[in-house]
């Protein structure tokens, strides 16, 4: 059942032992295992949520470079079927393009209020996440599991999800998007930490931060 384990690794969950005790991994059993794990991964990610965020229709800005184009198109259609309004900011073909252009476009849409949440995609997700985070009002999270997507919302109030089309299959990407949209920010102790991510006026120090403590100690 190596295929089942591989799928679980994509989801960030452990496969229940009873699913892999089959002695013969037939195609039907592999398919059944995948269906079981897919539901288990998503359900496990949703179990601990005390509230939901964007289960109601929302406007989602989505952008990708050529490497993420096919996944963008598939996710776009899936989100539209769920009732979300889609702001497709490109690219619109598989021709080679520069990923920062589309990450910046999605970031601008989210920050300006044209979109409630953003999704950016490139080959690994690394480039678009770096580019999106150049906007100081964006908290883009590169996620490769539903746990990462859930925690990005609960703890970091991430407003843009970055995905790697070469690292996630469609089901894994869809699971991340679903959890990212459905999870609310927890607030509380995380508010203090998020405040330290916000831009401050030039010359304004953070009195509670470690650098200021070192300055007071003369280090």
Q: How far is CA 35 from CA 1, 41, 104, 179, 210, in A?
A: 13, 10, 36, 17, 47
Is-contact 166 160, C-beta < 8 A? no
Active site (annotated) includes residue 122? yes
Active site residue 66: no
Alpha-carbon span 81 to 71, nearest angstrom: 15
Determine which one of 11, 122, 143, 176 is catalytic: 122
- Catalytic residue IDs: 122, 155
């Amino acid at each position: 059942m190596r295929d089942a384990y591989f799928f679980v690794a994509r989801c960030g969950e452990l496969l229940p032992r009873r699913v892999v005790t089959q002695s013969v991994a037939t195609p039907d059993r592999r398919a059944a295992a995948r269906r079981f794990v897919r539901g288990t991964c998503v359900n496990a990610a949703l179990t601990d949520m005390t509230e939901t965020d964007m289960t109601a229709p929302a406007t989602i800005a989505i952008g990708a470079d050529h490497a993420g184009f096919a996944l963008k198109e598939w996710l776009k259609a899936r989100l539209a079927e769920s009732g979300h309004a889609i702001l497709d900011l490109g690219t619109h073909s598989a021709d080679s393009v520069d990923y920062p252009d589309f990450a910046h476009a999605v970031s601008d849409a989210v920050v300006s209020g044209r979109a409630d949440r953003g999704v950016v995609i490139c080959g690994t997700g690394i480039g678009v996440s770096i580019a999106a985070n150049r906007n100081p009002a964006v908290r883009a999270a590169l996620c490769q599991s539903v746990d990462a997507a859930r925690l990005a919302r609960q703890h970091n109030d991430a407003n843009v999800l970055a995905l790697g089309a070469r690292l996630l299959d469609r089901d894994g990407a869809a699971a991340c998007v679903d959890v990212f949209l459905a999870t609310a920010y927890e607030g509380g102790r995380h508010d203090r930490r998020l405040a330290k991510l916000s831009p401050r006026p030039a010359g304004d120090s953070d009195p509670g931060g470690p650098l200021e403590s070192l300055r007071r100690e003369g280090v």
